[in-house]
Amino acid sequence: MKLTPRQQEIVRLVKEGQPVTSEALASKLGVTRAALRPDLAILTMIGVLDARPKVGYIYSEKPSTSLVYDYISKIRVKDIMSKPVTVNEETMVYDAIVFLFLNDVGTLFVENNGILTGAVSRKDFLKIAIGGTDIHKVPIGVIMTRMPNIVCVSQEDSVYDVAEKIISHEIDSIPVVEKSVGMDGKEHFKIMGKVSKTNITKLFVKLGKGQ
């Protein structure tokens, strides 16, 4: 796996001054701790750094391609994905919120004849709910994030790549899609499933049990 320039700089700083806290790293790099979080998560996941509670980060003597990385990079999205919870654009926000909680998910995907057109998260619902809007009269199509502004993956992508996208984009789940070209000549994305933080967590629990 090739590290980004900032990840390489983080490794260098940790090697020179370990243990180093995330606060110290953020200060030296001139960024916020939140901005560094995805990089640190990736570096610890692949075994380059070890995170020590109340101490900081230290450089691991393990090779950057750790056993965990080697293993999960071979697992495909289709092996862990679950069924997406979908609604159509005409669904009222109130009904969508009820549907979201009944299904105990963090994101609803919006489709039209099986084609992904948008996504709505709990944050989106919270924003409109506290804004004083009559959520019984506003369709979900008004507040959803529309394609192509949605991060997607395919069934053949590796689980590691998906986990990296979830961390980098700070999202709850990612739709699994299959690309096709419609009669209009435009590219469409048929939603086949989803991968959420829960799917990733279940995989690591399974790995921990040696399954």
Q: How far is CA 187 from the centre of its chain?
A: 23
Distance, CA of 107 to CA of 98 (rounded, Å): 12
84-124 pLDDT, tens digit per residue, is: 999 999 999 999 999 999 999 999 999 988 899 999 999 99
Give me the mean pLDDT over the 11-38 stretch: 92
Residue 58 near residue 74 (C-beta atoms within 8 A): no
Q: What CATH architecture does domain 77-208 belong to?
A: Roll (3.10)
- Per-residue pLDDT at 67 exceeds 70: no
**pLDDT tens figures, 139-168:** 999 999 999 899 999 999 999 889 889 988
Q: Domain locations in the chain?
A: 5-69, 77-208
d(CA 134, CA 11): 50
Q: What is the mean pLDDT of residues 72-83?
A: 90
pLDDT at 211 exceeding the cut of 80: no
Thinking of the domain 5-69, which architecture would CATH place it in?
Orthogonal Bundle (1.10)
> Which has more confidence, 2 or 33?
33
Q: How confident is the model at residue 186 (pLDDT cuts 50, 70, 90)?
A: confident
Label each residue of the chain as H, E or C.
CCCCHHHHHHHHHHHHHCCECHHHHHHHHCCCHHHHHHHHHHHHHCCCEEEECCCEEEECCCCCCCHHHHHHCCCEHHHCCECCCEECCCCEHHHHHHHHHHCCCCEEEEEECCEEEEEEEHHHHHHHHCCCCCCCCCEHHHCCEECCCCCCECCCCEHHHHHHHHHHHCCCEEEEEEEEECCCCCEEEEEEEEEEHHHHHHHHHHHHCCC
